[in-house]
Each structure stands twice: as structure tokens, then as C-alpha cells.
Chains A and B, each alone.
Chain A
Amino acid sequence: GGIITQTPKFLIGQEGQKLTLKCQQNFNHDTMYWYRQDSGKGLRLIYYSITENDLQKGDLSEGYDASREKKSSFSLTVTSAQKNEMAVFLCASSMRGAHYAEQFFGPGTRLTVL
């Protein structure tokens, strides 16, 4: 078994601020993902990474940067937080591509922008 850890659990920022969310997995999975979850909109893919130092844009990458410096970690940066933005950011990993393997999810980081 393994676990995905996301930090922080709650993140409160100011408008225009640059904010970083972190994700660690000990599954030794190759692929990692960042999703944004808004109420009523399901999960939308922001970035994913097939392997260390790889980055692929998802459908919602504008306004975000990502970094995969190690196989076990994947970080997401909100480049300029928007006022009234509130969402949960979910990190996930899978053994190979999601095409073949299920994704394992972390508990999420809840973002509030004041």
C-alpha cells in the first residue's frame, strides 16, 4: 500500500498572491496529476506529469505552473490568486497512464482567496 500526502490542507491567500501546493506519494508511481474540483463542475485536469521532470498541460493550465523535480513529488503554483476563488485541489498518481491504471488520490487542499 501507499499514501498520497497533500500540504497544506487549507490555504488562505490574498488576491494577486503566488501560492504553492505540494503533493508527495510513496507508491513509486510514474504518473502524477493535479485536478481542480469546483462544486457542480467535477474534476478538471490542470497539469500532469508522466515521469520526473516531465510536465503536460491539462484543460485548465492557464494561471498555474507545476514542477516535478522528483518522482515522488509534484507541486502546483497558483501564479496570481483571484479574489473570491474557492476550490479544492486534488493530487493523484497512477502506476502508468490512466488509460490502464486507476488513479489514487490525496485528501485535497482547500484554497480560499480573500
Chain B
Amino acid sequence: GEQVEQRPPHLSVREGDSAVIICTYTDPNSYYFFWYKQEPGAGLQLLMKVFSSTEINEGQGFTVLLNKKDKQLSLNLTAAHPGDSAVYFCAADTNAYKVIFGKGTHLHVLP
């Protein structure tokens, strides 16, 4: 079945620097991909939903890239600030109704 590997597990950057998180998936038939952010004591919040038909997606302060050839999905926070400190999860769809989550990346943005 689908597997999703996420790296790095921990990431510390200075305010204003970029932060990159990468997920590698195995199922070539995965079509929908998700990035979630989890702040302490809270559930997951959707950052972006990505379809395999679109390779570059831009949000507020971040860019998501999808490399279908290498089966990689990346989240790039372009100028991180302390409010970006959280755990980030990627997810890829499998069959109907289910997604597989990566193990998460703890991001710390130092002032």
C-alpha cells in the first residue's frame, strides 16, 4: 500500500530564513496531496490541497511543489517567522476515503 516518508523530523531555522520539508510517496496513482499544520494542543489545519495536475502551488508565505517523476512533494516556507513554529504533516490519498500521513516535521523558528 501507499507509504509516505517525511523529512526532516525536526527543523530549526532563524526568522526570515526559508524552511523546506519534503515528502516522498510510493503510489504512482496518488492524485491528491495535502499539507497540514498542527499547533500545540490543537488539531490539524489544512494549509493546502494539491492535485497532481498542478506542479506549483503558492499560498501565503509558502510554496508547494509536486515532482511526479520523483514522487516528491515539498513545502517551502519562504521567510519563516515565529508564528510558523508548529508540526507539519503531508498526506497522500490512497483508495477512496483514506489518506496516508507522513510522520510530521517539528519546525522551530528562532527569533
Contacts and interface: CB of A to CB of B under 8 A. Distances in A.
Given A48-B98, A98-B98, A107 B44 contact: no
Contacts of A97: 96-98
Interface stretch (B55-63, B75-83, B100-108): B100-108
Given A40-B9, A43-B89, A99 B42 contact: no
A107 B97 contact: no
B111 interface: no
A2 to B, nearest CB: 13
Interface residues of B, number: 24
Contact of A107 (B34, B41, B103, B104): B41
The SS class assigned to the A binding surface is loop
B15 to A, nearest CB: 26
A76 to B, nearest CB: 15
A31 interface: yes
Interface string A59-87: 00000000000000000000000000000
A102 interface: yes
B45 interface: yes
B96 A102 contact: no
Contacts of B32: 99-100
B12 interface: no
Nearest to A38: B103
A102 B45 CA distance: 10
Contact of B101 (A31, A43, A48): A43
Contact of B103 (A31, A40, A105): A40
A56 B97 contact: yes
B8 to A, nearest CB: 12
Interface of B: 6, 9, 31-32, 34, 36, 41-46, 49, 89, 93, 95-99, 101-104
10 contacts: A42-B102, A43-B44, A98-B97, A99-B95, A100-B32, A102-B49, A103-B34, A104-B46, A105-B36, A106-B43
Interface of A: 4, 31, 40-43, 45, 48, 50, 56, 58, 90, 92, 97-100, 102-108
